[in-house]
């Protein structure tokens, strides 16, 4: 949140204790990000191009299937 940039080849990995439909929003995020949901077998199950939130409520980004990890990288 509140980042104005993200270095090239860097990202944020979210590791959840269980597989689920983990949704995200871009509140207070000012750079576009690609969100990549990954299941417990390390298979990519969903990708979203998430844009900064300009409305309230913010758009929700969610996979269509269970995931255990979400990787956020520069869009």
Paired tokens of 40: 């417990």
Given pLDDT bands bounded at 50, 70 and 90, which one contains residue 48? very high
What is the distance, to the nearest Å, from the Cα of residue 12 to the centroid of all Cα atoms in its chain?
A: 9
Percent of the chain with pLDDT strictly greater than 70: 100
Q: What is the pTM of this model?
A: 0.90
Q: Which stretch of DSSP H or E encloses residue 69?
A: strand 67-74
Is residue 7 a contact partner of residue 49, using CB atoms and an 8 Å limit?
no
Return the C-alpha torsion angle 43, 26, 61, 7, nearest 10. -20
What pLDDT, in 10s, does the model give residues 2-15?
778 888 889 999 99
Q: Tell me whether the omega of the peptide bond preceding residue 64 falls within 30 degrees of 0, making it cis.
A: no
């Amino acid at each position: 949140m509140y980042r104005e940039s993200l270095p090239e080849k860097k990202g944020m990995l979210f590791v959840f204790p269980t597989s689920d439909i983990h949704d995200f929003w871009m509140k207070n995020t000012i750079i576009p990000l690609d969100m990549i949901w990954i299941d417990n077998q390390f298979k990519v199950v969903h990708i979203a191009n998430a844009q900064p939130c300009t409305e309230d409520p913010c758009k929700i980004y969610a996979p269509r299937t269970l995931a255990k990890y979400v990787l956020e990288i520069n869009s």
